[in-house]
Amino acid sequence: MSSKPFRVVILGAGFGGLEAARALARAPAEVTLIDRHNHHLFQPLLYQVATAALSPGDIAWPVRTIFRNQRNVQVMMAEVTGIDTTTREVLAGDELRIPYDALVLATGATHSYFGRDDWAPVAPGLKAIEDATDIRRRLLLAFERAELTENEAERRRLLTFVVIGGGPTGVELAGAMAELARHAMPQEFRRIDPATARVVLIEAGPRVLATFPEELGATARQSLERMGVQVLTGMRVTGCGPTGVECGEERIAASTIVWAAGVVASPVGSWIGADRDRAGRIKVRPDLSVPGQVDVFAVGDTASVMDAKGKPVPGNAPAAKQMGQYVGRLLAARAAGRPASPGFRYRHHGDLATIGRRSAVVALDSIRLTGLIGWWFWGIAHVWYLIGFRSRVVVSFEWLWSYLTFQRGARLITGREPLGGNAAPVPGQARALEKA
Amino acid sequence: MSSKPFRVVILGAGFGGLEAARALARAPAEVTLIDRHNHHLFQPLLYQVATAALSPGDIAWPVRTIFRNQRNVQVMMAEVTGIDTTTREVLAGDELRIPYDALVLATGATHSYFGRDDWAPVAPGLKAIEDATDIRRRLLLAFERAELTENEAERRRLLTFVVIGGGPTGVELAGAMAELARHAMPQEFRRIDPATARVVLIEAGPRVLATFPEELGATARQSLERMGVQVLTGMRVTGCGPTGVECGEERIAASTIVWAAGVVASPVGSWIGADRDRAGRIKVRPDLSVPGQVDVFAVGDTASVMDAKGKPVPGNAPAAKQMGQYVGRLLAARAAGRPASPGFRYRHHGDLATIGRRSAVVALDSIRLTGLIGWWFWGIAHVWYLIGFRSRVVVSFEWLWSYLTFQRGARLITGREPLGGNAAPVPGQARALEKA
């Protein structure tokens, strides 16, 4: 093992995969990092792309650039189609077979519609850049259509936006949508008042931000309601369609629905026949290896892990990074023939979510921050974790500019595809003026 | 006319339409500005989006925001489907009929394949944001695929980029592509050297930048060739396909082809039965009105106009702005019952094109600037004409950052649509890793 290089293959260039590769920087290992995108995405700020505050390029960086100077990493943009644990090879693209000595599964999670995949076209989730620009398109188109319609009921439907799921993503999205409607477009429309738009946040459980300390969930709810967001807890969505959302007997006519209610792990666990939890995550051992597969590890949203208190480790960026770093170090030791570290221990640093202008909730170990101070903390923490000087400068400037002017910097409706789902055909969108 | 407001309808929110609406700011007129996009696009920098230097949001602004404070402008995002010159109404969307007292046609131009529209899927042009992100995707994917392939001939094909058309757009694109390959990706690939990519600029005429003074065309060609661009003049493309370009007997195997060879005016002229030139532009009268239609005007790329010397007015942004402003002022006078100004006179301020890092050619009245000085002039002029403080800061910063680091800020491969045309199926693109 010391004569031949130790080959580590990492699937997925999210937070977990990135940290695993980084932790192998000085190891006598050859690392292959495979992702179907060419970029690493800073998902915690993706909702700001969906609400026109930031551009995709502000929060995504080519994976190659990140590893430019780490010469033992080879980046491949390819679709993984299978894993052969017998020959220890990853199958990718049409014909690639990539041998490994150790394999790290960091393929993340995707939206789960709990068996109602037919809701996907009308209630998109928010995981990739394309999701964000799709939601941005729906949101902004709704205002444009509302300005054109003569029908009062249709106008109200167009100006109703529903977010399903009251976790951090749902709360941040609902807050940002309310701000977009109330502040970003004053005086720009002649026939409608965008501030009359209705934003509804639906949560099946009893409260929003269920994983946060209870008083912060209550604070977040108050902040949302002060911004005009209607927060419906204990409501289960029973239907999503082109004209709106159903919760049992109740119907909310809406043009734009966003799904932030549930995720399911990528199916990589099923490829290797691993034991999985309800959310499809692989039940890993304390060292994050897959039971029965000493050479295969799972990190981030692909892994089901318990912390020291027996509570599940949350599916967020810090947890994914910690797991990735842990496995990277473990494999660095293995490659060098050093003894392995003890089992993975999750350190919970805190929870944070922003609700809107000058409003955020932050729970650190023993500290609670809300309002303006929480908001500053939230902003600085997020800029800190962006990759590279350029993004930090650009995002800081965009935020400062938005803060001072109340405007949004990326209010673009883009995309050629005709909008399916809950959007009525829009005048002037599907066909080109020049080609009519 | 003085009691009832004078209704001006402007089709198209490009440079011409925008200036026409602005010139009517203090006129007793109601202006309706219709575009199928929600944004005004700064087309002169679109090639920088296509080559990953800028984000779409940096060079596009919501039309509504631009006219936020001009209360007599109503902005409509809609597709115009026809014009009824008898009832003097514009037909838009599914059911909208918008009456006008004066109509300004500013719908611009689109790519012309000279009867070979079947080339469009393999050789996209560069007019809209979607075109730019599509070309960016093809360019960046070509490098990713080249890194994966084992086939040497295929690798060479993947790393060959062809730009058809040696006008300013073609020259700027070819230069930016060469820079992207040579400077933006050093050390990022492990199996290919991106700097070996071949960029070919094909021009049917005898020289590039044919509308510029001759010595500047020669300078531009030298600069391109110094950057490694192969400039082929006097070559007519006879075929474009998924595997490359044909010029008579010669074949160039290429993965990425961009069409910058010709434009044709939007078909709005045919709707109103106006007399048009070969490029579909309406042959307008000296006051830019359409012969036989005293209430209809054409500006920008939709209009065929001669300057004082009998030379055709070029199809660029300054010309469109001058025409738009002229018609706006004429209609402002008409609305106020004042006498109209004399015929339109085009003032040629100069020609400029950038070739790459520290290299541009600028022809002002009696001044010629090239090299570093030309490049600075080009950059400052373009930042100056951007709309708003935010874009000026962001674009200046992105350029400064790119200049210092040699990197590109928006190197993202986005879009869900499977790539048709000259791109082979890419491993890992069409299907999602999570859903495989």
Cross-chain residue pair B148–A430, CB shorter than 8 Å:
no
Q: Does A93 touch chain B (CB under 8 A)?
A: yes
Which residues of chain A have a CB within 8 Å of the CB of B405? Answer: 390
A21: in domain: yes
CA B28 – CA B332 distance, rounded (Å)? 7
User: Which chain A residue lies closest to B265 (C-alpha atoms)?
Assistant: A434
DSSP one-letter code for B91:
E
Sequence-distant (≥ 6) Cβ neighbours of residue B118 within 8 angstroms: none
The answer to whether residues B99 and B226 belong to one domain is no
Write out the two tokens for A138.
Answer: 């729906």
Write out the two tokens for A211.
Answer: 């994983």
Give A339-358 pLDDT, tens digit per residue: 988 899 999 989 999 998 88
Domain boundary among B274, B305, B336: B336
Tracing tokens 């509804």 back to the chain, one arrives at: A200
Give the closest residue to B353 by CA, choosing from B221, B187, B160: B221
Per-residue pLDDT at B417: 58
Question: In the predicted model, what is the mean pLDDT of residues A389-405?
Answer: 92
Decide if A172 is catalytic.
yes
Which value, in Å, is the radius of gyration of the alpha carbons in chain A?
A: 23
DSSP codes, A404-426:
HH---S-------SPP-TTPPPP
Per-residue pLDDT at A3: 61
The answer to whether residues B215 and B278 belong to one domain is no
The answer to whether residues A97 and A185 belong to one domain is no
The answer to whether residues B257 and B271 belong to one domain is no
Cross-chain residue pair B129–A394, CB shorter than 8 Å:
no
**% of chain A exceeding 90 in pLDDT:** 87
A70: in domain: no
Shortest distance between the Cα of A127 and any Cα of chain B, in A, equals 12
Give the closest residue to B303 by CA, choosing from B331, B332, B328, B274: B274
Shortest distance between the Cα of A372 and any Cα of chain B, in A, equals 24
The answer to whether residues B278 and B202 belong to one domain is no
Which residues of chain A have a CB within 8 Å of the CB of B79? Answer: 427-433, 436
Cross-chain residue pair B79–A393, CB shorter than 8 Å:
no
A56: in domain: no
Catalytic, out of B19, B95, B150, B172? B172
Give A356-382 pLDDT, tens digit per residue: 888 999 999 889 999 999 999 999 999
Q: Looking at the predicted structure, is the pLDDT value of residue A427 above 60?
A: no
Give the number of domains in chain A: 2
∠ Cα A65 A66 A71 (to 5°)? 85
* Interface confidence (ipTM) of the complex: 0.91
The answer to whether residues B107 and B242 belong to one domain is no
B427: in domain: no
Convert B369-405 to b/e letters by CB count within 10 Å (16 or more is b).
Answer: bbeeebbebbbeebeeebeeebbbbbbebbbebbeee
The answer to whether residues B247 and B153 belong to one domain is yes
Per-residue pLDDT at A417: 58
Tracing tokens 């007519």 back to the chain, one arrives at: B236
Q: Looking at the predicted structure, is the pLDDT value of residue A426 above 90?
A: no
Q: What is the CATH number of the domain that holds B175?
A: 3.50.50.100
The answer to whether residues B121 and B214 belong to one domain is yes
CA A357 – CA A354 distance, rounded (Å)? 8
User: Which chain A residue lies closest to B410 (C-alpha atoms)?
Assistant: A57
B415: in domain: no
Q: Does B412 touch chain A (CB under 8 A)?
A: yes
Asked which of A1-5, A64-68, A343-347 is least confident by mean pLDDT, the reply is: A1-5
Please say whether the dihedral angle defined by the alpha carbons of residues B70, B72, B77 and B80, taken in this order, is positive or negative: negative
Which residues of chain B have a CB within 8 Å of the CB of A427? Answer: 77-79, 92-94, 96
Per-residue pLDDT at B33: 98
Domain boundary among B281, B310, B336: B336
Which pTM value belongs to this model? 0.92
∠ Cα B315 B318 B320 (to 5°)? 55
Per-residue pLDDT at A1: 44
Partners of B246 in the beta sheet? B239, B251
CA A416 – CA B313 distance, rounded (Å)? 32
Per-residue pLDDT at A61: 96
A19: in domain: yes
A53: in domain: no
Cross-chain residue pair B428–A78, CB shorter than 8 Å:
yes
Domain boundary among B207, B240, B261: B261
CA A60 – CA A391 distance, rounded (Å)? 9
Domain span at residue A222? Answer: 117-261
B434: in domain: no
Whole-number mean pLDDT of chain A? Answer: 92
The answer to whether residues B251 and B154 belong to one domain is yes
Digit-by-digit pLDDT tens for chain B (436 residues) are: 446 789 999 999 999 999 999 999 999 999 999 999 999 999 999 999 999 999 999 999 999 999 999 999 999 999 999 999 999 999 998 789 999 999 999 999 999 999 999 999 999 999 999 999 999 999 999 999 999 999 999 999 999 999 999 999 999 999 999 999 999 887 899 999 999 999 999 999 999 999 999 999 999 999 999 999 999 999 999 999 999 999 999 999 999 999 999 889 999 999 999 999 999 999 999 999 999 999 999 999 999 999 988 899 999 999 999 999 999 999 999 999 999 888 999 999 899 999 988 899 999 988 999 999 999 999 999 999 999 999 999 999 999 999 999 899 899 999 875 433 333 433 333 322 222 2
Q: What is the CATH number of the domain that holds B313?
A: 3.50.50.60
Sequence-distant (≥ 6) Cβ neighbours of residue B301 within 8 angstroms: B14, B16, B108, B109, B263, B265, B266, B281, B315, B320
pLDDT band at A401; cut points 50, 70, 90: very high
The answer to whether residues B222 and B154 belong to one domain is yes
The answer to whether residues B151 and B253 belong to one domain is yes
Residues 229-288, chain A: which have Cβ within 8 Å of B?
266-267
The answer to whether residues B219 and B318 belong to one domain is no
